Structure 1
Amino acid sequence: MSDKPLRLVIFDVDGTLVDSQAHILGAMHAAFADEGLETPQRSDVLGVVGLSLDVLMPRLAPDADQAAHARLVQGYKDAYMAIRAEQTSAVSSPFYPGARETLEALHAQPEVLLGVATGKSRRGLDKLIEGHGLEGMFVTQQVADFHPSKPSPAMLLEALKETGIEASDAVMIGDTSFDMEMARAAGIAGVGVSWGYHPRENLSAARTVIDSFQALPSVLDEIWKG
Structure 2
Amino acid sequence: MKYENYIFDFDGTLGDSKECSIVATQQAFKTFGLNIPTEQDITYYMGIPIEVSFLKMSQRTLSEQEVEQLLTLFRQKYKVYETDYLKPFEYISEVIRLLSEANKKLFVVSSKKTEVLIRNLESIGLYQYITEAIGSDKVKAYKPNPDGILSILNKYNLRPDKAVYIGDAIFDIQMAKAARIDSIAVTWGSHSKEALSNEQPNYVIEEPIELTRI
Q: TM-score under structure 1 normalisation?
A: 0.87
- Tell me how far apart the structure 1 counterparts of residues 9 and 48 of structure 2 sit (CA, whole Å): 11
In the TM superposition, structure 1's runs of 4+ consecutive aligned residues that sit over 3 Å from their partners are: none
Residue 190 of structure 2 corresponds to 197
Q: Say whether 1:144 aligns with 2:117.
A: no
Q: Is the 8 A contact 1:27 1:83 kept in 2?
A: yes
Query: How big is each residue's C-alpha offset from its partner over 1:39-90, in whole Å with a ceiling of 9 and x where there is no partner?
Result: 1010000100021121111111152323333322221111111223xx2xxx
Letter in 1 for 2:137: D
- Tell me how far apart the structure 2 counterparts of residues 66 and 205 of structure 1 sit (CA, whole Å): 37
Q: Is the 8 A contact 2:14 2:88 kept in 1?
A: yes
Residue 44 of structure 2 is aligned with which of 42, 47, 52?
A: 47
Residue 153 of structure 2 is aligned with which of 148, 160, 185?
A: 160
Residue 29 of structure 1 is aligned with which of 21, 26, 41?
A: 26
Query: How big is each residue's C-alpha offset from its partner over 1:78-111, in whole Å with a ceiling of 9 and x where there is no partner?
Result: 1111223xx2xxx42121121001000000112x
Between the two proteins, what is the percent identity of the paired residues? 27
What SS does the corresponding residue of 2:128 show, helix, strand or coil? coil
How many residues are paired up?
210
Please report how far the alpha carbon of residue 28 of structure 1 lies from its aligned counterpart in structure 2 after TM superposition: 0.2
- Tell me how far apart the structure 2 counterparts of residues 185 and 7 of structure 1 sit (CA, whole Å): 20
Q: Which runs of 5+ in 2 are unaligned?
A: none
Relative contact order higher in (CA < 8 Å, ≥ 6 apart): 2
Q: Which runs of 5+ in 1 are unaligned?
A: 220-226
Q: Is the 8 A contact 1:118 1:144 kept in 2?
A: yes
Residue 109 of structure 2 corresponds to 117
Residue 17 of structure 2 corresponds to 20
- Tell me how far apart the structure 2 counterparts of residues 157 and 7 of structure 1 sit (CA, whole Å): 16
Residue 72 of structure 1 is aligned with which of 70, 73, 78?
A: 70
